Each structure stands twice: as structure tokens, then as C-alpha cells.
Amino acid sequence: MRLGIISALQEEQLGLVEAMRGPSRLIHGMREYRTGKLWEIDAVCVLSRIGKVAAAMTATTLVEKFGVTHILFTGVAGAGDTSVQVGDIVVAEALVQHDMDASPLFPRFEVPLTGLTHFQPDHGLSLRLSRAAHDFLERDFLEVIEENERQAFRLAQPRVHRGLVASGDQFVNDGKHIDGLNQALPGLVAVEMEGAAVAQVCHELGVPCAVLRTISDNANEHAAIDFMRFVKSVAAQYAFHITRRICRD
């Protein structure tokens, strides 16, 4: 296995690069790829930057230039349903591009000429991810997330959700918008800006992928402030400890 690990922002990948043994750096396409050993695993870490094109470019490069055999995306997301709270963890069961709409030529959400609205991540890798997420919440959470942070974000008993993740080139910060997406996309648990692009690339190149998201905000009018605070303080801890558990599995 050679695992490509993508995050959109530096804060979402802090710690992983430091934990890497024998890292070497290579700049390609205006991104820095770090290759080395993460615990037992041969890995390549990279920041994609934000949005579907940036993520698709990064995923393609990981496969074509760095020869990764699996891709994991870790980062934060807005809640896609009222049952999902800030601090919860989402593992994608399917991914859709919520801003794809070539109707009336093709049904809403269908990626033209693929016949697909939803892209499926790898079942085995996603299962490992949700086990690692459960173990993180049960064993590491109280130790690594400080009490003042738990209080600040009201992180009482975070949960792991499996479900539909929707990606688009929009930061969703409007209650009506997220309600509309929730109604149009049954099973929606999170909205973000990269996962479905990575899933499409991986589908087309035949590479297994999985997407892990920690909920940073409710995709409503408070989303921007909540997102900034969450990313600055606790997002990296979630991503680091869950990825560590996967690599040591």
C-alpha cells in the first residue's frame, strides 16, 4: 500500500508531516508533496488547497506521478443534517457534487456522460476509517482535546456518522441553502468542497479512496466564524489521531 493523504488546509494536516520518517519534498504543480513513512505505511502527504479543481488536480498527480495505491482525504465540513453536530466525525459512504447541474440535458447532480450522480468510496478503507474514528472518540478524545476546547465548542459526546457527503465550489453559510441541499439529497450528512472531486478522479483511475470529515460548523449564517475557530484549534488533533490509528492498524 502507498497511501496518498490530502487535506485542503495546512491546519488540517499539522502533525502528520512532522510524524513522517525520512520525508522528502517535491514541488509539482505549485504543491508540495512529502513522501516518507507514517508509522507502518508508505505515505505521501499534500495540501490540495480549496475546491474541486484543486482537489482533482492533486488526486490525479498523487496517482499518476507518485504512484499511490489508495487516497485518504481528511479535513473539516459543514453539517448536512440537524442530527449532525459540531465535533462529530463523518465517514463518506457516497459523494455527490451538489453544484453539478446540467439540466435539462442531464438530471441534476449527474456528472455528464458518466451516468453517475453518486461516487462510492472504497468499502474496506472506509470501514477502517470509521473504526479508527470510533477508537479515537473512545480512547483519545478526552486526553487530546482539552477541557476548555470541549467546552468552547460544546463537544459533549461526539459521534461517528456514515452517509452522503456533498461537495461544491461554495462555502455554504446560509440556513436556507443547507436545508434545500438536505431535502434534495437524501442521507446528506456533510457539505464540503473537495471530496466528491477526489472520488470522481479515483473512480475514473480505479484507485480506492476514502473521505473523513470533522464537522466544524452548521453551514448556516454562523458558519464562517465557527469554521475559523474550529480549524485553528481542534481540527488537526482529530485528523492526526485518526490517521495515526489507520496507519498503525
Q: Which stretches of the chain bind ligand ADE, using CB under 6 A?
A: 76-78, 171-173, 191-193, 216-217, 219, 223, 227
Q: Kindly state the smallest distance separating residue 6's Cβ from ligand ADE, in Å.
A: 14
Which of 154, 92, 169 is CA-nearest to residue 125? 92
Q: Cβ of residue 238: shortest distance to ligand ADE, in angstroms?
A: 13
In the complex, residue closest to ligand ADE by CB: 78
CB of 193 to ligand ADE, least distance (A): 5
- Give φ, ψ of 56 to 5 degrees: -65, -40
Q: Is 67 helix (H, G, I), strand (E, B) or coil?
A: coil
Other C-beta atoms closer than 10 Å to the C-beta of 60 total 18
Residue 79 makes CB contacts below 8 A (sequence gap 6+) with 85, 86, 88, 178, 189, 190, 191, 215, 217, 218, 219
Q: Which helix (H) or strand (E) holds 146?
A: none
Q: Compute the least distance from the CB of residue 86 to ligand ADE, in Å.
A: 10
**Min dist. Cβ of residue 82 to ligand ADE (A):** 14
Cell 485528523, located at residue: 239
Those residues whose C-beta lies under 8 Å from the C-beta of residue 19, and which sit 6 or more positions away, are 38, 39, 240, 244
Identify which of residues 20 and 190 has a Cβ nearer to ligand ADE in the complex. Answer: 190
CB of 99 to ligand ADE, least distance (A): 11
Nearer to ligand ADE, 1 or 225 (CB): 225
- Pick the closer one to ligand ADE by CB: 2 or 159: 159
Smaller CB distance to ligand ADE: residue 63 or 90? 90
Beta carbon nearer to ligand ADE, 6 or 43: 6
Nearer to ligand ADE, 142 or 152 (CB): 152
Q: Which residues of 127-165 are buried (b: 16+ CB within 10 A; e: fewer)?
A: ebbbbbbbbbbeebbeeebeeebbeebebeebebbbbbb
Taking the complex as a whole, how short is the minimal distance between the CB of residue 174 and ligand ADE, in angstroms?
9
12 or 110: CB nearest ligand ADE: 12
**Of 59, 16, 4, 8, residue with least CA distance to 239:** 16
